Structure 1
Amino acid sequence: MTNPSTLYRGGVLHCPADPSATALLVSDGRIAWLGASPDAPAADRVVDLDGALVTPAFVDAHVHATDTGLALSGLDLAGVRSAGELLDAVAGFAAALPADAVVLGHGWDESSWAAPELPDAAAVDRAAGGRRVYLSQASIHSALVSSALLAAVPEVVSAAGYDASGWLRRDAHHVVRAAAFASVTRSQRVAAQRAALAHAASLGIAAVHECGGPEISDEEDFTGLLGISGAGLPEVYGYWGELGGAARARELGAVGAGGDLFADGALGSRTAHVSAAYLDGEPGACGHGYVSAEQVRDHLLDCAAHGLQGGFHAIGDAAIGTVLEGFAAAARTLGVERVRAARHRVEHAEIMSKRLIAGFVEYGIVASMQPAFDRLWGGAGRMYESRLGLDRSLASNPMGAMHGVGVALAFGSDSPVTPLDPWGSVRAAAAHHNPSQRMSVRAAFAAHTRGGWRAVHLDNEGVLALGAPATFAVWETPAGVDRGLPVLLAEDPELRGPEDPTPLPRCRRTVLRGDVIYEEGSS
């Protein structure tokens, strides 16, 4: 029995093969017809688009769904601008919780504070009334915790990155994070995952790439999320980040053994492995590399043996250099073409050079990047300048340069590090702080749609074309439409940039393989 067909008519379609198309017919999950509305065939149902824009739906190529859902309902610290505001926020949130609850918060970024000094563990303890507190920094590579939580995890004092102040990095952070999230019940995790995916659907996102692993989540969390993929929600493509874990990744249902498999840390916590020292850290400190070139090589060989895509989280140029050394060594065994065919990934790829970019081209590496990183932390007077200096800040996240030489790009948010915000990410790539690194809106949109599908080897998805999966979003476009895409940039060049005031589109409906997974106004 076939499903009822649906005709969407009277819209503006992002359909380069037929720019004049104003209608499409969906049948059995695919696009069965495209063309002008007056010429449309009969259908079981008709949806009047009323001039709305229809585009391929977005793919967010790097998310943490459970963390995103918990952040949506938990303590949001993105807006605090001082230690005092942070403590006040903790006190207000904790007051409504049972005495034995764990306070989970996320999003503080001391680099945006006038006085960047953090409160210590004892002060956090007092604000929370003695409760255990875990507050992840915006990068999720460090956290501020209370003395009560430190006391509950005594082994943390011997872990790398431990500091009695309560600001923990590296292994110490992973130990305490695991203890804090152990307080979250299975039902709470499921609710958080559903909330995150439903929120994604409301933004025109039809698929996400979940980056899990033993240092990020647990196996039950990972497989539980994959189990609700596409069930009235966006599809989930999972990456399991465990070194040498290709067999385990396949057993868990992952599409790749990569994602957040850490070659280094993050710029926000000064743990990204860079070749020139941080300017605002300990003298000579260059962050930390977590893998060797030999480990990278062996991991890629393991992935090849299991027919699986691999990849690494690598932000700093030193870490990326190590990863590319491992790629070169793997290619000497497998051959360059076999390495290229796997479409291995590097997440973030923020501090690059021409030599490193050439390595991505040579080995066919997909760069899974987050344009919002530049919008939030790039440019003059922001965190990257504090850490790296203005020149290195402006050279970071070189999406334009990478696109210009053919590096395959897949855009995402790293939510909850930055919010799910696909059109905001497209604009951020087109309005990079460094004008020489800007991309066209059209190229950035492709990276956030078709690029995400291609990153999981689904090359025929992400387009409005006859016979393609009916996966699309319907948009209200307050600033208008230009050649099948919404206007995202101000007409005045002086206003263009990361803070461009042009209003972004609003999603009316999201359709995944013919099924409506979000409709504005429906509960």
Structure 2
Amino acid sequence: MSAYALSSRHDSRTRRQDRVVTSTSKRVLLRGGRVYSPATPQATAMLTVGDKVAWIGDDGGAASHAPSADVVVELDGALVTPGFVDAHVHLGPTGFALQSLDLSSTVSLADALEQLERFACSHSGRVLHAYGWDETKWSEGRPMTMAEVDRAVGRAVAYISRVDSHSSVVSSALLDRDPSITQRDGWHGNGVVERDAHHAVRTITHGLWTTAEREQALRAALTHAASRGLTCVHEVNAPHIAPYADFAALRAIADTTTVSEVVPYWGAFRGGDADLTGDGLLGFAGDLCVDGAVGSRTACMHEAYADADTSGHLYLNREQVAEHVVYCTERDLQAGFHVIGDRAMTETMAGFEAAVKLVGVAALVRARHRLEHAEMPTPEAVQAMARLGVVASVQPAFDAEWGAAAALYEQRLGAERARPMNPFGSMHRAGIVLAFGSDSPVTPLDPWAGVRAAVFHHAEHERLTPTAAFDAHTRGGHRARRDDAAGVLKPGAAATYAVWRVDDELPRPQVVEWSSDPGADVPSLPDLHPDKKLPVCLTTVVAGATAYDAQQLGTGNGSR
């Protein structure tokens, strides 16, 4: 399929209109493609006026709107969808990762060290940041040591983050910045840090980057998000992840540039020193950690890990969970927690049940609290989440990356515990709101890959239909931030959408078969089978303004 194109109109009347048109009145007609709109399943065209969708229909109807349109976009078969939402992103770390060394594809420790040495040589005099290593994919089966890092980078300050961002390896030059790190919980003596030691290392690196560098990283992350068709991202910041000042920087960027909408959360117990009024926080949620991660063996388990004599670490107990939930509920804020291990889930849900006794079920349901990751819930925990209206902010890429037989989860936990992880299908059937995200930079900003991962979950009974998975990555993210209306293209809705080049479509019978409602006339989605190419984003529009346009087609205004 060829790229879609901007229609040219050369009469003097049109040129005069183009000179005076404003962002609030600009009429953009897209036609000749497919528009994903459940209300109009066979739509091929859409008209937006300013920041709203004005009309959706077929090309015959589009002909009547073309004379009054300021811009006509010939889609040439391209697909128009609601913009995706990523419900769990770390924008600062994502932006820095885009400028750093990606070790996720390395096949051995030796390969990683060789790449690190080359990176250090080409970035002399700078703080070195590498990320994404996973020793379970290396032939040596172990992390690098500080001595090995020093041989690769010399006296450079280097921070080498594991793929899950819950542990890292540091250079001796970084350790010299704060030798007390060796006295903190989580110092392993060989340069590997986790828990408190890891938080201290992150604090050091935050101080080494200038305000301008942080703003550049945030801009890079938002630009990248828009290029992936993401019109909204949930920034789940926390004291151990990035500075609170990032929120102000993000607001300043949004004031001058069209970017993906940022929904801010701060993962601090009872909010810490956060300014709710000034920073627009929806809640004290996100990465307020009850435990850690499976890969770093810090996720808290009832039984020891299969490959190490530890059961992980519990950072918050049920009493603290209950206190935080009550505190947020009474203030009409969303509470939320990072929770992965089975014991951590037990403690978390016990905390919610304790909170119910103080504020009641109805208040908790109205608050729409969140659990991030929620990878190991029991069937009882799933039912409790549904009963209490708790959103599951989950990452399908985790299952795609680590959920298969012999992959990381099975290595760490054994097949019996790994097999039922990430039960998206069970959660969906229970009525839990699913909000898909990436946890970027842990996994890439790639929403179609997330939809595919949920459709082809390693456990067949936990797979979602394409329509349910797509909904979780669009409407689900809005519902997670307590907006039940957004995320659908229909007249009166926000003109917030993405345009995609699609090389492979599902045959119509399979569209109906895979629909959440096989009896309904449903819009078609791309063919997401693993052997098919994923759609490519051509344009991203947020409230009528263009945030990304691969071909400069002028579908909206790019500044505010």
The interval holding the TM-score normalised by the smaller chain is over 0.9
Counterpart of 1:501? 531
Question: Partners in 2 of 1:353 and 1:399 — Cα distance?
Answer: 12
Counterpart of 1:451? 476
Question: Partners in 2 of 1:460 and 1:325 — Cα distance?
Answer: 32
Aligned residues of 2:304 and 2:311 also touching (Cα < 8 A): yes
Deviation at 1:227, TM superposition (A): 3.2
Using structure 1 for the length normalisation, give the TM-score: 0.95
Counterpart of 2:71? 45
Counterpart of 2:318? 293
- Give a deviation string over 1:400-447, Cα, whole Å, max 9, x none: 111111111000000000001100000000001111111111100000
- Unpaired segments ≥5 residues, structure 1: 491-499
Question: Partners in 1 of 2:43 and 2:303 — Cα distance?
Answer: 52
Output aligned runs, 1:289-368, within 5 Å.
289-368=314-393
Counterpart of 2:300? 273
- Give a deviation string over 1:84-110, Cα, whole Å, max 9, x none: 1121111111112334x3211110000
Provide the secondary structure at the position in 2 that maps to 1:248. coil
Task: Give the count of matched residue pairs.
Answer: 511
2:464 pairs with one of 421, 439, 463: 439
Question: Partners in 1 of 2:395 and 2:42 — Cα distance?
Answer: 32
Counterpart of 2:4? none
Deviation at 1:330, TM superposition (A): 1.2
1:195 aligned partner, one-letter code: A
Change in Cα spacing, 1:355 to 1:68, as seen in structure 2 (3 Å) is same
Provide the secondary structure at the position in 2 that maps to 1:244. helix
Change in Cα spacing, 1:351 to 1:405, as seen in structure 2 (3 Å) is same
- Give a deviation string over 1:186-212, Cα, whole Å, max 9, x none: 111111111111111111100000011
Counterpart of 2:527? 488
- Give a deviation string over 1:14-62, Cα, whole Å, max 9, x none: 1111112211111121111111222132322211111111111100000
Counterpart of 2:29? 7
- Structure 1 residues 124-133 or 341-350, which shifts more? 124-133
Aligned residues of 1:241 and 1:259 also touching (Cα < 8 A): yes
Aligned residues of 1:265 and 1:288 also touching (Cα < 8 A): yes
Aligned residues of 1:53 and 1:484 also touching (Cα < 8 A): no
Aligned residues of 2:466 and 2:525 also touching (Cα < 8 A): no
Output aligned runs, 1:110-509, within 5 Å.
110-229=135-254, 231-245=257-271, 248=274, 250-251=276-277, 252-282=279-309, 285-481=310-506, 482=511, 484-490=523-529, 500-509=530-539
1:33 pairs with one of 48, 55, 59: 55
Counterpart of 2:556? none
Question: Partners in 2 of 1:430 and 1:249 — Cα distance?
Answer: 40
Aligned residues of 1:223 and 1:253 also touching (Cα < 8 A): no
Deviation at 1:228, TM superposition (A): 2.3
Aligned residues of 2:206 and 2:243 also touching (Cα < 8 A): no
Q: What root-mean-square deviation, in Å, do the aligned CA atoms of Structure 1 and Structure 2 show?
A: 1.5
Question: Partners in 1 of 2:439 and 2:505 — Cα distance?
Answer: 29
Using structure 2 for the length normalisation, give the TM-score: 0.89
- Structure 1 residues 160-169 or 150-159, which shifts more? 150-159
Counterpart of 1:495? none
Provide the secondary structure at the position in 2 that maps to 1:211. strand
Bigger Rg, structure 1 or 2:
2
Provide the secondary structure at the position in 2 that maps to 1:358. helix
1:514 aligned partner, one-letter code: G
1:37 aligned partner, one-letter code: D
Deviation at 1:214, TM superposition (A): 0.9
- Structure 1 residues 203-212 or 319-328, which shifts more? 319-328
Deviation at 1:249, TM superposition (A): 5.2
